[in-house]
Amino acid sequence: MPEQKYKCPECDVTLDNSLLTLSNDLFMVSEIMKTPSPEFFDRIETSRNLPTLPHILLKLIQACNREPDTIKEISQIINKDASLSARLMMLVNSVYYDLPNRVASIDQALLLLGTNAVRNIAISAAINQAFDQAKDSFSVPGLKLFWWHSLMCATLAKLIATKTSYGAPDEAFLSGLLHDIGKLVLWVNFPEEYGESPEPYRNKPDLLLADETGLEATHSEVGAWMINQWNLQSFIADAVRYHHEPLSRILDALPLVKIVFVANALCSGAVEDTNARFKTAEEVFGFRRPEVEELISLAEEEVKHVAESLEIEIEPRDASNRLVSGKDAEKEKDLVRAVRDISLLHGTVQNLLEAHGEESILKVVMQGLRVLFDVHSVLFFLYDQERDVLVGKGAEGSGQYLLIKELVIPVQGKRSLLARSLSQRTPLDSFGHLTEVALSIIDDQIIRLMGKEGMLCLPMVAHKQFVGVIALGMDEVQVSNLSNEINFLTMFISQVALAVDAENVRQTQARSIQSERLIASSAVARKVAHEVSNPLGIIKNYLKILGLKLGEDSPAQEEIGIINEEIDRVSTIVRVLSDFSEPGVQQKELVDINTLISDLIKITHESLLLQSGIKAHLNLEPSLPSVMTDKNGLKQVFINLIKNAVEAMPEGGNLYINTRHASNGPGNKLKRDAKGDREYVEVTIRDDGPGIPDSVKSRLFEPFVSSKGEGHAGLGLSIAYSIIRELNGTMTCESSETRGTTFRILLPIGKRQPF
């Protein structure tokens, strides 16, 4: 048989007799194999993570952790990678979301799923790729060639769609991006049968297709089958299915099929003879050679730009060395490090989720910074939106706990390093490693307070709202070393910001619910008091008349007396309800809090403390200013708290009462004047009892909530809370099994005192 030659117009490959026969046989086989057996597709797990270049996964994780202003940055990364795009489309069109209309756009899918879902996709893909035992079956050079070809095909498809006035250029782009996705599906599901990678066949698609027929389906059929699972109202699956068909069969196909076919032919990678590629474009769309050359040039320029932005080095097509380059190996190591960081972060994030209360969250953060980054000097500054200032916060027990609570740093003006870090939403250090800085006096004071050479400021932002700044005291060499982990550190701080913001929202909602419940309970209490007092008065009057009629020596007088006593007891209950609804803050006077507490301890010493075996410990600040307040109301509050502490320690114990003069109202939620320089008297009453159960703690100041069992109405703390609130003060509680219970009361000083 004479030697015959044939140039394939779709793949730019010259076929000899044997290959020509093989190609014809392959076409005949593909005609027969229109529907591969269901058993074959049952073996395919489309849910498995398809491999992605580590360069792209790293960029995606960083973008998700930066909380970009729009979802556009994430979209620009995902829609440049076939694996991630396929994963995203598979998820958004799954039964779980059950959308009425199928989604065929990456941008629309991202808007529907949100950044959390995308972050989960990126992290799961990174973890699988970093630790998959089969990851050595494909190589970074092979993935880079696959990525380049897919993106070139997608870019050309979009350019061709625009040039031919096709109505959906983005659909053409996605079709081109996914046209070879079946290769990756076969690659990860049949690594032994498919080989190390499709790289050896990059210029010989006919040989690749011939090998794939041994698997019962080609990558074109597998890709089309997978896309069909998404039930798109689109011809994307057809474009994928037919992109290796003979040219003669493509000429009468639908536009999207033609676009992807020509795009694939133009970026086939064969360099020996390009005439066939130009002929294909001319026969299908009538493009002249200069037009095609311009399309290829534009596409190559765009793909090169994308590769540079993703730090992907693409070797020349004819390069013989396909070993992993040093930079690629470093990217693989970076991906493993990122996965390690995510794993380490998981435990701390879990602790953040389980922490309740601002102080508990800050303690978890301090522990996390020590364990994850070996940083031990930490100060917190939370943002006060009303005053536009950063307020110092410290985890109780830390060395700077009392001093930090006195710090207030204005954000406006950005004179402080902390204020600039928050305003710019970027980490800043006092050494100028991250950017040039000029330190203010307050910056120098904070650095000295932490006992280090300098500090690193990390802004906390959640949902685009300021949350605060964390200042890390560090020596210069520590800052230099930690800058290598800035991405991991930023990821950690993002989670902290979300936790603190969630706690702020929870506290705000709790106060709102508390206020609404108190208002509702007060209305009920007033109604009961009003309705009950009148009939009780009438009954007492009739009893008095009855007693007069019976005479003083009547045996019934004793029973009448008992009834009167019970009526008086009912009146007392009604009065308690009235006090609850109207706390009774009436006459205010200058009150010496220390004297008031000392007198109450004397009164209750024998009747309460001594009989219960409880020892009182007073630590009263001598120079405590007097407070313009309601003396009787405060008596009721303090007696109630002392009585509760005694009842909590039936076997005896210790009662600690402290007072101190506090500036700037740390920890309170009161409205403040413009200068924010009001002062407060702080009273803490602590016992070393068993603590308050968690089931009661969250509703402690609500009416009719008690942990004391039957016989206790649960009104005492609600009344005390109402009184303090009427005095424009705050009342909080901290309780645990090991530390007992502490009530902290802040009372504003009526007249400002000089510093």
Task: Supply 58's token pair.
Answer: 């790293």
Residue 562 lies in a domain: yes
Mean pLDDT value across the chain = 77
Q: Strand 740-748 vs strand 730-736: parallel, antiparallel, or unpaired?
A: antiparallel
Across the range 145-151, mean pLDDT stands at 88
d(CA 378, CA 362): 10
pLDDT of residue 458: 93
Residue 155 lies in a domain: yes
pLDDT of residue 132: 57
pLDDT of residue 18: 41
pLDDT of residue 381: 94
pLDDT of residue 35: 60
Backbone angles phi and psi of 733, in degrees to 5: -135, 140
Please determine, for residue 210, whether its predicted confidence score (pLDDT) is greater than 80: no
Q: Strand 653-663 vs strand 614-620: parallel, antiparallel, or unpaired?
A: parallel
Domain boundary among 438, 462, 493: 493
In this structure, what CATH number is given to the domain that contains residue 743? 3.30.565.10
Please determine, for residue 256, whether its predicted confidence score (pLDDT) is greater than 50: yes
Of 181-185, 214-218, 450-454, 560-564, which range is least confident?
214-218
Of 57 and 710, more confident? 57
Q: Do residues 282 and 186 both lie within one domain?
A: yes
pLDDT of residue 138: 55
Give how many domains the chain has, as a whole number. 4
Q: Are 696 and 644 in contact, with CB atoms under 8 Å apart?
A: no
pLDDT of residue 400: 59
Residue 661 lies in a domain: yes
pLDDT of residue 451: 87
pLDDT tens profile 605-622: 877 788 888 999 999 999
Q: Do residues 226 and 360 both lie within one domain?
A: no
Q: Do residues 373 and 464 both lie within one domain?
A: yes
Domain boundary among 542, 563, 581: 581
Domain boundary among 299, 323, 347: 323
Residue 343 lies in a domain: yes
> 131-140, 336-345, 510-519 — which one is most confidently predicted on average?
510-519
Q: Are 116 and 342 in contact, with CB atoms under 8 Å apart?
A: no
Percent residues over pLDDT 90 in the chain: 19
Of 197 and 41, more confident? 41
- The type of residue at 616 is A
Q: Do residues 182 and 220 both lie within one domain?
A: yes
Q: Do residues 639 and 567 both lie within one domain?
A: no
pLDDT of residue 337: 67
d(CA 239, CA 259): 8
Q: Are 467 and 460 in contact, with CB atoms under 8 Å apart?
A: yes
Helices 486-550, 358-373: crossing angle, 10 deg rounding: 160
Q: Quickly state the pLDDT bin for 292 (edges 50, 70, 90).
A: very high
Q: Quickly state the pLDDT bin for 390 (edges 50, 70, 90).
A: very high
pLDDT of residue 604: 80
Please determine, for residue 705, whether its predicted confidence score (pLDDT) is greater than 80: no
Of 461 and 580, more confident? 461
pLDDT of residue 30: 45
Q: Quickly state the pLDDT bin for 316 (edges 50, 70, 90).
A: low
Across the range 212-232, mean pLDDT stands at 82
Residue 63 lies in a domain: no
* C-alpha closest to that of 723 among 600, 658, 632, 646: 632
pLDDT of residue 295: 93
Of 667 and 658, more confident? 658
pLDDT of residue 340: 64
Q: Do residues 250 and 357 both lie within one domain?
A: no
Q: Are 288 and 336 in contact, with CB atoms under 8 Å apart?
A: no
Q: Do residues 646 and 664 both lie within one domain?
A: yes
Q: How far is CA 724 from CA 521, 548, 630, 731, in A?
A: 17, 46, 10, 7
pLDDT of residue 675: 39
pLDDT of residue 737: 75
* C-alpha closest to that of 265 among 252, 291, 284, 288: 284
In this structure, what CATH number is given to the domain that contains residue 427? 3.30.450.40
Q: How far is CA 588 from CA 469, 592, 627, 717, 751, in A?
A: 40, 12, 9, 22, 13
Q: Do residues 294 and 207 both lie within one domain?
A: yes
Residue 85 lies in a domain: no
Q: Do residues 395 and 344 both lie within one domain?
A: yes
Please determine, for residue 459, whether its predicted confidence score (pLDDT) is greater than 80: yes
Of 471-475, 525-529, 701-705, which range is least confident?
701-705
Please determine, for residue 659, whether its predicted confidence score (pLDDT) is greater than 70: yes
Of 9 and 358, more confident? 358
Q: Do residues 339 and 316 both lie within one domain?
A: no
Q: Quickly state the pLDDT bin for 375 (edges 50, 70, 90).
A: confident
Q: In what order do the strands lie in the sheet with 454-462?
A: 408-410, 389-393, 377-384, 465-474, 454-462, 428-429
pLDDT of residue 73: 79
Q: Do residues 473 and 520 both lie within one domain?
A: no
Task: Supply 276's token pair.
Answer: 């066939």
Could you report how far apart the first and last alpha carbons of the chain are, in Å? 108
Q: Quickly state the pLDDT bin for 194 (edges 50, 70, 90).
A: low
Q: What pTM, to 2 d.p., does this model score?
A: 0.53
d(CA 157, CA 715): 73
Percent residues over pLDDT 70 in the chain: 71
Q: Do residues 253 and 342 both lie within one domain?
A: no
* C-alpha closest to that of 186 among 166, 213, 155, 148: 213
pLDDT of residue 301: 92
In this structure, what CATH number is given to the domain that contains residue 547? 1.10.287
pLDDT of residue 658: 94
pLDDT of residue 58: 78
Q: Quickly state the pLDDT bin for 326 (edges 50, 70, 90).
A: low
* C-alpha closest to that of 684 among 741, 613, 724, 727: 741
Q: Quickly state the pLDDT bin for 82 (edges 50, 70, 90).
A: confident
pLDDT tens profile 394-446: 655 555 555 676 688 999 888 899 999 999 999 998 988 767 778 889 899 99
Domain residues for the domain of 246 are 1-35+140-323
Q: Are 261 and 245 in contact, with CB atoms under 8 Å apart?
A: yes
Across the range 208-229, mean pLDDT stands at 78
d(CA 146, CA 360): 49
Residue 144 lies in a domain: yes
* C-alpha closest to that of 168 among 285, 82, 259: 259
- For residue 159, give every residue at least 6 positions away whose Cβ sits within 8 Å of its Cβ, in sequence order, or none: 295, 298, 299
In this structure, what CATH number is given to the domain that contains residue 17? 1.10.3210.10
Task: Supply 497's token pair.
Answer: 């910001």
Residue 58 lies in a domain: no
Q: How far is CA 474 from CA 382, 415, 449, in A?
A: 20, 21, 12
* C-alpha closest to that of 63 among 51, 76, 52: 76
Across the range 523-551, mean pLDDT stands at 80
